[in-house]
């Protein structure tokens, strides 16, 4: 400001350098720094930037005018110290208004920058808070779905063991061990974001062995697992959920011999997991707790880059997951 006004007066108004004007501009700059600092401290503890945009900008305009009037009054002090005549020369209305308008140029720029910065900062805080609330809501929703899934899975597994207890106690003990390992897996899978496909398939095999107790020769399992897919990672219980859904909605409702086929395929940019089962697709089959939970986990893990679909193909219901590799 000092440099701009000095150049303006020196070259365009009086035509020569005048120390008096230079000192006056320096005095005004110092006053401006202290005044704007005081104003900043005055409003920093308020909830000003939480109000509506129109209210904030009206306050900005009023603040600019008030600070400009204040600065104009302060700049009258040096002439008053010199002589009363000099003071009276400055007190006419036209000069006073011209000084206010002149100060509004500088103070207005400062106020606009200061207010815009804090408005953007306030909006960013609101955005961050909204994201935190959305993440919290998703976490709560996923946790609620998880708590619904575990009892549902336990009920199905216990039904598989119940029929075996009186027929073959030894096999029933082995089945209970497998069930306990499965329950440990399902209760703890929320602790890890991903597991290897190989580790996931171990749990799927345990589950299918339990279901074979219930269905006997009716249940036929076909494994088509590519070797190079075993070390790839997926959200835990993804395949287990699809297989459990295939048993519940497909095999359990399908009379006679039924097939569950588990297949993986590795491509350049992604890999696929397919679980097919004998039966007919019902409109509500894709809306169960397990599948809804799986969709949520895939969405959170891959940010919309994964794909899940379930459809009818001839006499098979096929559930398919595509995951970026």
Task: Quickly state the pLDDT bin for 151 (edges 50, 70, 90).
Answer: low
**Position 263 pLDDT exceeds 90:** yes
Q: What does the pLDDT look like over 218-231, one tens digit per residue?
A: 889 999 999 999 99
56 compared with 23, residue with greater pLDDT = 56
Q: How far apart are CA 165 and CA 162, in angstroms?
A: 6
Which one, of 237, 221, 225, 207, lies nearest residue 301 by Cα? 237
Least confident of 165-169, 273-277, 303-307: 165-169
Q: Considering the entire predicted model, what is its pTM?
A: 0.54
Helix (H, G, I), strand (E, B) or coil at 220: strand
Q: What is the mean pLDDT of residues 113-137?
A: 77
Residue 280 phi, psi (nearest 5)? -120, 140
86 compared with 77, residue with greater pLDDT = 77
Domains of the chain from N-terminus onward? 2-131 (no CATH), 163-324 (3.30.565.10)
The sign of the CA dihedral 45, 50, 52, 53 is: positive
pLDDT of residue 13: 53
Which one, of 277, 275, 280, 279, lies nearest residue 309 by Cα? 275
Q: What is the mean pLDDT of residues 257-267?
A: 91
pLDDT of residue 292: 80
Which one, of 40, 36, 32, 34, lies nearest residue 5 by Cα? 32
Give percent of the chain above pLDDT 90. Answer: 12
Q: Mean pLDDT highest for which of 33-37, 163-167, 258-262?
A: 258-262
- Using CA atoms, how far residue 143 sits from 138, 154, 160, 307, in Å, is 8, 17, 26, 22
Asked whether 259 and 224 are in contact (CB, 8 A), the reply is no
Q: What is the mean pLDDT of residues 316-322?
A: 92
Helix (H, G, I), strand (E, B) or coil at 234: strand
Tell me the average pLDDT of the chain. 77
pLDDT of residue 197: 92
Q: How far apart are CA 141 and CA 322, in angstroms?
A: 23
130 compared with 302, residue with greater pLDDT = 302
């Amino acid at each position: 400001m000092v440099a701009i006004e000095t150049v303006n007066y020196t070259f365009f108004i009086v035509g020569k350098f005048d120390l008096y004007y230079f000192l006056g501009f320096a005095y005004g700059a110092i006053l401006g720094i202290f005044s704007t600092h005081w104003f900043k401290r005055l409003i920093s503890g308020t909830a000003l930037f939480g109000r509506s945009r129109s209210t904030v900008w009206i306050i900005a305009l009023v603040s600019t005018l008030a600070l400009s009037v204040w600065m104009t009054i302060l700049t009258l002090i040096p002439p008053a110290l010199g002589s009363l005549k000099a003071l009276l020369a400055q007190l006419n209305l036209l000069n006073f208004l011209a000084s206010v308008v002149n100060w509004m140029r500088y103070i207005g720029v400062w106020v606009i920058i200061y207010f815009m910065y804090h408005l953007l900062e306030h909006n960013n805080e609101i955005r961050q808070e909204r994201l935190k609330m959305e993440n919290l809501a998703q976490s709560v929703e996923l946790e609620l779905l998880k708590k619904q899934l575990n009892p549902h899975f336990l009920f199905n597994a216990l039904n598989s063991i119940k029929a075996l207890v009186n027929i073959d106690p030894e096999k029933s003990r082995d089945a209970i061990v497998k069930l306990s390992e499965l329950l440990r897996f399902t209760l703890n899978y929320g602790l890890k974001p991903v597991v290897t496909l190989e580790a996931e398939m171990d749990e799927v095999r345990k589950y299918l062995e339990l279901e074979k107790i219930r269905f006997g020769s009716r249940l036929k399992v076909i494994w088509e697992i590519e070797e190079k897919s075993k070390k790839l990672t997926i959200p835990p219980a993804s395949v287990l959920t699809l297989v459990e859904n295939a048993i519940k909605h497909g095999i359990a409702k399908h009379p006679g011999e039924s097939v569950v086929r588990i297949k993986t395929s590795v491509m350049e940019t992604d890999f696929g997991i397919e679980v097919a089962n004998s039966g007919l697709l019902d409109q509500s089959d894709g809306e169960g707790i397990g599948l809804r939970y799986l969709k949520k986990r895939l969405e959170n893990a891959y940010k919309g880059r994964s794909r899940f679909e379930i459809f009818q193909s001839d006499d098979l219901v096929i559930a398919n997951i595509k995951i970026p590799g």
